[in-house]
Structure 1
Amino acid sequence: MSHKTISQSISIVHPISLSQGRNAEVWDTDGKRYIDFVGGIGVLNLGHCHPAVVDAIREQATRLTHYAFNAAPHAPYIELMERLTAFIPVTYPVSGMLTNSGAEACENALKIARGATGRTAVIAFDGGFHGRTLATLNLNGKVAPYKQNVGVLPGPVYHLPYPSADNDVTCNDALKALERVFSVEIDINDVACFIVEPVQGEAGFLALDVTFAKHLRRLCDEHNILLIADEIQSGFGRTGQRFAFSRLGIEPDLILLGKSIAGGVPLGAVVGRKELLDTLPKGGLGGTYSGNPIACAAALATLDVMSDTQLQAWGEQQEAAIVGRHAAWQSKKLSPYLGRLTGVGAMRGIELLHPDGTPASAQLTQLLSLARNAGLLLMPSGRSRHIIRLLAPLTIEPAVLEEGLDILEACLQKLD
């Protein structure tokens, strides 16, 4: 599908044109129905056009469509920040700022880290993804396609192996690499922050090793380094909890938010320790559209729906269905390409591997097409684009979830 007026540097996964959606189902302009296991790449934890979110958008649009908060504060921004900071499961006083996106939240977190520490170096992780803006590009733990043809990137940035049971990198592997960085690459006293995804998204839903996370927290405390948790994809219930860092038994200093924060309306945030958010001078943070009233209203409606009980129930239901199906598929040797299940909670990936253990990237490409033709939209991930990323709305009806898994099962059997 070619769109002559749209940059050809934008990569399209599914060559269709969508016209409408309802919860976990979408329809294209030809009227064909699809079950959506993409969810706007993790944006629609509450599904397409959640009634509470739609009502909030409509009501707010009749009152105030926009005002720049740094010109004159408005009530939706104030109310959302009060609710949002209370929603963050940490023990310290929290404050924050709203942004237009997750990448913008990351950019502002880097500014905050520099201002608070007086240092510039950042340590990120292989396989990580933090955005497509110039500074966030250098944080990404993958060159192609993000860092190609753009020249020297802002830094300094150093990368470590990401330890996870899902990628066979151990805690000790990462600790040895960390020791090397500080002995060969950078003085520990020049490091402003570590930035890490509690569950990596783009890399294929890899869950961070708990022991390593606790070691990292202690290291940061000992050397006055900030720990930034990127919860842009893993947050707002994706793992069955409010945020994925809770399963690690640590508290980050700054937390990046986005994607499912506002039910599909563009919004992001950086939140964390109040003393850090107050470090930069007046005017150092802000933005014309950041915290738009309509986006704030959508986020408030989202928080109304996301009770702990509801998040846990949704997460457990979806996890049980995916884990159960995958185990059954493995038991009956459904496909020679079927690999392991990655991730935690309802944030799950399925590896496709050749019998020799190498990534089955071509088979995943084939699967995307087979599933789409059968009425199921899937999202690829992984360094070799060989992991199916399952991002169905948490609110998906059980029957629709089973229907989608039935389609996936049938398509996996057809891979060659």
Structure 2
Amino acid sequence: MVSEVGADLEVRREQALPHGVAVAFPVYAERALGAEVWDIEGRRYIDFIGGMGALAVGHSHPKVIAAVKAQLDRFSHTFFGSIPYQGYIQLAERLNALAPFSGKSKTLLVTTGAEAVENAIKVARYHTGRRSIVVFRGSFHGRTLLTLGMTSQIDPYKRGFGPFPGDIHFSPFPSPYSGPSASEALDAFRDLVESQTEGEQIAAVVIEPVQGEGGFVAAPPEFLRGLREVCNQRGIVLIADEVQCGFARTGKVFAIEHSGVEPDLVAIGKSFGAGLPIAALIGKAEIMDKVPPGGLGGTYAGNPLACAAALAALDVLQEEGLAARSVKIGDRLAAGFRALNQSTNRQIIGEVRNAGAMVGVELVEDVESRRPAAELTSWLIKDAAENGLLLASAGRAHNVIRVLVPLTTSDEILDEALSIFAGSLARAADRVCA
């Protein structure tokens, strides 16, 4: 799989980069289009990673390229806090119109998803005058110290990096497959708020409506409704972290819309920028406006080139009907994955779950015990890459194949990917039986 040129790059990478910068495959990209990537040797791959969820509109979408080029011909950066520009305002207006809550909204542009989440906490604390945060087991909110403190998974993210900021409390996240149930998780959340913490000091509850690193597990609507009820009763700000599950990935622009629950603040990023670094915090105006001038911002926050890309990506989302396409992609892939389990020597797919095109395939040693098959998952991902399909894992036990394929992908490429996956799954099942 690794050519002489690739091997040379691997050596150079190891010498130039710290070991903490992990690389899954020795595949060095040369060009990419839609859901396809060609490496420096000319080999073609189907990309089901999609920039780790940052490419819902696909690689090199012509609308995005044209918009960025046009902006680059004008100017690339000024710092909005000193010399403002139209693109930032236009993008904020577009996002305010899409906000998943009633009433007036306002938008802050930042650079990364973690930065959007951190600013959500800043705004919630300023608005409430409180300090504590409640998050959920299985969560991932970023790699800064605050968002790492809010992230559940120890390895590889948190180990050795503490201490983390305090006043962060974890509550169980419901899972129909592995438990707890929605009612059990809601009871645990209420107990945490009422008995295990200073409830009057809780500023915010932060939740991914569909967990990403946690294994593509969707929060049941009744659970989200219960959170909203408690937050209303206690004056707590409800924050939806939609960095990975937003931008039509689940079949709606925001995943929380499936529940009918209105959050107070929404953090977005990844696909919102179509591959350029930009993120945003959208919030109810009465909450966002509490912070005084100068309290929010950043040097590259709302960079003009990234604003142009995001505006173009929003155009693509609407013009190409990506929310509806997401549902069709998810249905096709989920049905395909489920059918594959019946064709192997041993059933090792424990569950296929999806919210739109956000598809998770949980691999187990056997379907009766449901024991996570982490090593087998790693082997399958490597085998698929060797056969032209790039995959990534997720889940608390690293045993979930997560699909973040661009929403612009054709049915023909989806079916080709399923065929490659079928071969890798069959070989993985044979390994279990051996």
TM-score tier by shorter-chain length is over 0.9
Equivalent of residue 94 in structure 2, options 42, 60, 83: 83
Residue 310 (structure 1) aligned with residue 306 (structure 2):
no
Q: Give, in whole Å, the separation in 2 of the partners of 1:37 and 1:25.
A: 9
Moved over 3 A (4+): 330-335
1:18–1:28: 8 Å Cα contact kept in structure 2?
yes
Which residue in the other structure is 2:6 paired with? none
Q: TM-score, normalised to structure 1's length?
A: 0.97
Equivalent of residue 388 in structure 1, options 394, 401, 405: 401
Which residue in the other structure is 1:376 paired with? 389
Letter in 2 for 1:306: L
Equivalent of residue 44 in structure 1, options 43, 52, 55: 55
Equivalent of residue 179 in structure 1, options 186, 190, 202: 190
Equivalent of residue 126 in structure 1, options 137, 148, 151: 137
Letter in 2 for 1:329: L
1:25–1:36: 8 Å Cα contact kept in structure 2?
yes
Q: How does 1:285-364 map to 2 (within 5 A)?
A: 285-307=296-318, 310-333=321-344, 335-355=346-366, 356-364=369-377
Q: CA offsets per residue over residues 40-75 of structure 1, 9 Å max, x none? A: 010000000000000001000001111111112111
1:54–1:298: 8 Å Cα contact kept in structure 2?
yes
Q: TM-score, normalised to structure 2's length?
A: 0.93
1:166–1:207: 8 Å Cα contact kept in structure 2?
no
Relative to structure 1, is the Cα distance of residues 71 and 144 closer, same or farther in structure 2, using a 3 angstrom cutoff? same
Q: CA offsets per residue over residues 10-55 of structure 1, 9 Å max, x none? A: 1222222112100000011111110000000100000000000000
- What is the alpha-carbon root mean square deviation over aligned residues? 1.4
Equivalent of residue 419 in structure 2, options 399, 406, 416: 406
Uncovered stretches (5+) of structure 1, i.e. residues with no partner: none
Uncovered stretches (5+) of structure 2, i.e. residues with no partner: 1-9
Secondary structure of the residue that 1:86 maps to in structure 2?
A: helix
Secondary structure of the residue that 1:19 maps to in structure 2?
A: strand
Which residue in the other structure is 2:231 paired with? 220
Secondary structure of the residue that 1:342 maps to in structure 2?
A: strand
2:341–2:349: 8 Å Cα contact kept in structure 1?
yes
Distance apart, 1:319 and its partner CA: 1.5
Q: CA offsets per residue over residues 180-199 of structure 1, 9 Å max, x none? A: 32354312111000000000
2:124–2:237: 8 Å Cα contact kept in structure 1?
yes
Letter in 1 for 2:382: S
Letter in 2 for 1:260: S
Q: How many residues align?
A: 416
Relative to structure 1, is the Cα distance of residues 327 and 403 closer, same or farther in structure 2, using a 3 angstrom cutoff? same
2:139–2:150: 8 Å Cα contact kept in structure 1?
yes
Give the percent of matched residue pairs that are identical in Structure 1 and Structure 2.
40
Which residue in the other structure is 1:272 paired with? 283
Which residue in the other structure is 2:271 paired with? 260
Letter in 1 for 2:329: Q
1:319–1:345: 8 Å Cα contact kept in structure 2?
yes
Equivalent of residue 230 in structure 1, options 233, 237, 241: 241
Which residue in the other structure is 1:109 paired with? 120
Residue 207 (structure 1) aligned with residue 218 (structure 2):
yes
Q: CA offsets per residue over residues 350-382 of structure 1, 9 Å max, x none? A: 011011311101111111111000000001101
Distance apart, 1:164 and its partner CA: 2.9
Q: Give, in whole Å, the separation in 1 of the partners of 2:213 and 2:146.
A: 18
Q: Which deviates further from its counterpart, 243-252 or 171-180?
A: 171-180
Distance apart, 1:326 and its partner CA: 2.2
Q: Give, in whole Å, the separation in 1 of the partners of 2:275 and 2:320.
A: 22
Distance apart, 1:162 and its partner CA: 0.4
